[in-house]
Amino acid sequence: AAIRSVAERLAASATALLTNPSRAGAAVAVAGALALAYFLAKEGTALTRDLVDRTLRTPALIKEQSKGGRGGIAAAADPFEDVVVGDALEKRLKSIARSTAGAKRWNAPFRHVLFHGLPGTGKTMAAERLARRCGLDYAIMSGGDVAPLGKKAVTQLHRVFDWAQKSRRGVLLFVDEADAFLRRREDDAMGEAMRSALNALLYRTGSQS
């Protein structure tokens, strides 16, 4: 509405200039001021939209998430009870859960954890249950969705982390199929866009968060 109003005033100034040349100086000054107002209104709208996209809306890369739900995820006494793993691995998962819950309680940086194994062995489920145990929100993105974004991948990855940092509960971000774009940077088969995406991810995860 503001942009339309400015455009109408610009048109009126042009009409006044044509019908009354003696007022050319004033008309030019008004037109210049209105043009500046038009530019600021247009750019301000774009900046506001970008800010909302980066901080409030769920990023396009996020395929599943609990953030924004009713109260998020409630902490559970033993969320791993239906996860079938060996005793040693279960002990390790519970140890990670305790340290993560402690970090949340004391506002300390969270650790990064790598889950690896064959497809269908419960890595995603374990990550979701870890978030449940710690009372964190969780979000899942697929590494396979990064490559098709091309040059836009870097922007979308930053939006994921900017969005996650706005959670008051904290977010456990799980990158499923991470190997789809996480490769050695020296790999000749890696294109420039994917190398930039990898650098962006390493920049946002290079230290505890």
Reply yes or no on whether the pLDDT at 96 is more than 60.
Answer: yes
Confidence band for 70, pLDDT divided at 50, 70 and 90: very low
Q: What is the 3-state secondary structure (H, E, C) of 7-58?
A: HHHHHHHHHHHHHCHHHHHHHHHHHHHHHHHHHHHHHHHHHHHHHHHHHCCC
Structurally, how many domains does the chain consist of?
A: 2
Summary mean pLDDT of the chain: 78
**Shared-domain flag, residues 106 and 169:** yes
Average pLDDT over residues 102-115: 88
Give pLDDT tens digits for 135-166: 889 899 999 999 999 999 999 999 999 999 88
Domain carrying residue 47: 2-55
**In what order do the strands lie in the sheet containing 171-176?**
62-65, 137-142, 171-176
**Shared-domain flag, residues 152 and 98:** yes
**Shared-domain flag, residues 25 and 85:** no
Give pLDDT tens digits for 12-44: 655 665 566 555 566 556 556 666 666 666 665
